[in-house]
Amino acid sequence: MTSAEKYVTAAYVVVLAVVLLYVVVYAFKLQRLDREVARLAELARDRHSDTESVEPEREVAETRS
């Protein structure tokens, strides 16, 4: 492999490396968003179950009165 061939290959490898680095950074970002969605879904489920447990108590209290 001549010196020119090595440099040309290096230039194309740099482009590939930048794209791959971007994919890795994006993968980390997706992981973070996935964790965030899971946390919010759990928060929403907790809210939903809290509302459901409060509703029957209120219905019973209203029936008694």
Partner 1 sequence: MTSLRENRGVVLSAGAAILLLVGTALAFWWVPNDADQGFSQRIFYIHVPAALTAYACFGWGAWKALRLLSTRVDRYDLESYTAIHMGVIFGIVTLATGSIWAKVSWNVWWTWSSRQLVLFLVLFLFYSAYFMLRYSTDPGPRRSRMSAVYALFGVVLIPVSFLAIRLAEDFIHPVVFNRDGPQMDGSMFLTFCVVFAGTLALAGALYVNELTGKRLDRNLRELEEALA
Query: Rule CB under 8 A: is residue 28 a binding residue for partner 1?
Result: no
Residues in 2-21 that interact with partner 1 by CB under 8 A: 2-5, 7-8, 10-12, 14-15, 18-19
Q: Which is nearer to partner 1, 32 or 60 (CB)?
A: 32
DSSP codes of every residue in 3-29: HHHHHHHHHHHHHHHHHHHHHHHHHHH
State the Cα–Cα distance between residues 50 and 57, nearest whole angstrom: 11
Q: Which residue has the tokens 């509703």?
A: 55
Residues that bind partner 1 (CB under 8 A): 2-5, 7-8, 10-12, 14-15, 18-19, 22, 26, 29-30, 33, 36-37, 40, 43-44, 47
